Amino acid sequence: MVRHLYIFNFREMAVTILKLAAFLSVVAAVAAYLGGKYKAASTENIINKFNEQRFGDFYKKEKNSCDLVFVGSSHSYCTFDPAFYDKEAGTDSFQMGMPLQLPASTYYELREIFAYQKPKTVVMEVFWGVLGTDFELNQATQLFQVMKNEELKNEYIREVFPFSEKVKYSNDVLKYQGDYFAYKSKEYDDKIRNFIKVYRSPELKQEGVEEYGTKGFIYCDYNMLEDEYDLTNQFKELDGKDYKLSDEQVKYMEKIVDLCEEEGAQLIFVTAPVAPVSLNYIRNYDIINKRIADFAERHNIPYFDYNIINSKENLVTNANFRDDAHLNYSGAQIINRHFLGLLEKEGISLK
């Protein structure tokens, strides 16, 4: 061994090792305890419950019975209601969108879908926010909580996760911390409100229902909060000038194109609208639209951007939104009807 690797005497070394082992054991024990607590809190997250119901219903479906499937981010499950298409177009459709779903997740989800179903059409909601993101752990964790195929999950981790995220994913404390903190905050909030008898002022309180509908769709009849028109609008500072698609997500969008082709499914891209007041805040939306439209054109995928369509045809107003970005049920009905008509006009059959 190298000469300068000398250390202390044996007794000193043994004491040092013991101290270090004791320290690491205590920290590891506390971390394991916290991991358990944090993981348990994740089941309290209403979004996770919706995901569980969605995938539960999907896995219960008769094999190869589905001919239309919707995928993508929360904009997908807030907008595209399978019940509408089943009734109006005679399809057997299913909504498989998940919060913040990045194309990488869509790709693995689609592989799981194709293992059970052979849909003829895949409608992928393409929200620019997720297309510009390299990686996001929570949405992958949410998918893993409900997807059955362990091999696919492992492949996802191996192929998509950056090294740091693999470390986080392997640790329940880091993985579920967000769920626990949100859950505890709500608990504190309720307790403090009851203690000091403070109740939410009307402008901060949303009235209505948000619940799991059928076949993966989330029903919601909320209206936008007053603050979201201006003060808290998330799109206020958005400048699309430098917007570009993430290279990582482009790679998976291309894989989705290839996968759908292999499976004989027609792929359609669609961007659900954000509230008109929000769109007005976004500078250079045309650049954002062009980036996605260029990709679609290069791969010969039909693409419908409802922010562009709505700004020309005024289909939905701010009253049709549950918040500054997502449609409520009234808005979803309008867009679904229009989208179906648009597909017919373009000669795209859903069955």
Partner 1 sequence: MLFNSADFIVFFIIVLLLYYILPHRVRWVMLLGASLIFYMAWEPALVVLILFSSFSNYAFSLAIYGSKDRLIRKRLLIFSMLINFGLLFIFKYLVFINNSFMWLFDFAGLKYPINEFDIILPMGISFYTFQAAGYTFDVYRGDIKPQRNYLKFTLFITFFPQLVAGPIERAGNLMGRIFRYHPFKWDNIVLGAKIMLIGYFKKVVIADRVCTVVNTVFENPTRFGGISFIVSAILFSIQIFCDFSGYSDIAIGSARMLGIKLMTNFDRPYFSRSIKEFWRRWHISLSTWFKDYLYIPLGGSRVSEGRWIFNIMTTFTVSGLWHGANMTFVIWGALHGAFQVIGRFKRKLISEHNGVISKFFGIVITYALVVFAWIFFRANTVGDAFYIVSHLGSDIMRITDIAYVYETVLSWGLGLFPFAVVLAAIAVLFVTELVSSKENIVKILDRKPFILRFAFYAMLAVFLIGAGRYDNGSAFIYFQF
Rank residues 16 and 206 by Cβ distance to partner 1 and give the closer one. 16
Nearest distance in Å: CB 47, partner 1 = 16
Rank residues 6 and 10 by Cβ distance to partner 1 and give the closer one. 6
- Give the per-residue contact string, 105-124, with partner 1 (x = CB under 8 A; - = no): --------------------
Nearest distance in Å: CB 176, partner 1 = 11
* Residues between 139 and 198 with contacts to partner 1, criterion CB under 8 A: 163-164, 166-168, 173-174, 177-178, 181-182, 184-185, 187-189, 192-193, 196, 198
What is the maximal distance between C-alpha atoms in the chain? 85
Nearest distance in Å: CB 126, partner 1 = 23
Cβ neighbours of residue 306 closer than 8 Å, sequence gap 6 or more: 270, 271, 272, 273, 315, 335, 339
Report angle CA 224, 227, 232 to the nearest 5 degrees: 105
Q: Classify strands 218-220 and 210-212 as parallel, antiparallel or unpaired.
A: antiparallel
Tokens coding 155: 């492949």
Nearest distance in Å: CB 54, partner 1 = 24
Helix, strand, coil fractions of the chain, as percent rounded to 5: 60, 10, 30
Nearest distance in Å: CB 164, partner 1 = 4
Q: How many residues make contact with partner 1 (CB under 8 A)?
A: 45
- Give the per-residue contact string, 18-57, with partner 1 (x = CB under 8 A; - = no): -x--xx--xx--xx--x-----------------------
Distance CA 260, CA 9 (A): 66
Count the neighbouring beta carbons within 10 Å of the beta carbon of residue 45. Answer: 19
Tokens coding 171: 């640790």
Distance CA 122, CA 131 (A): 17
Rank residues 209 and 231 by Cβ distance to partner 1 and give the closer one. 231
- Give the per-residue contact string, 193-222, with partner 1 (x = CB under 8 A; - = no): x--x-xxxx--x------------------
- Give the per-residue contact string, 57-96, with partner 1 (x = CB under 8 A; - = no): ----------------------------------------
Distance CA 42, CA 142 (A): 10
Task: Give which of 141, 157, 139 is closest to 73, Cα–Cα.
Answer: 139
Rank residues 6 and 62 by Cβ distance to partner 1 and give the closer one. 6
Distance (Å) of CA 236 to CA 45, 132, 228, 243, 280: 28, 18, 10, 15, 9
Q: Which residues sit at the interface with partner 1, rule CB under 8 A?
A: 2, 4-8, 16, 19, 22-23, 26-27, 30-31, 34, 137-138, 163-164, 166-168, 173-174, 177-178, 181-182, 184-185, 187-189, 192-193, 196, 198-201, 204, 231-232, 236-237
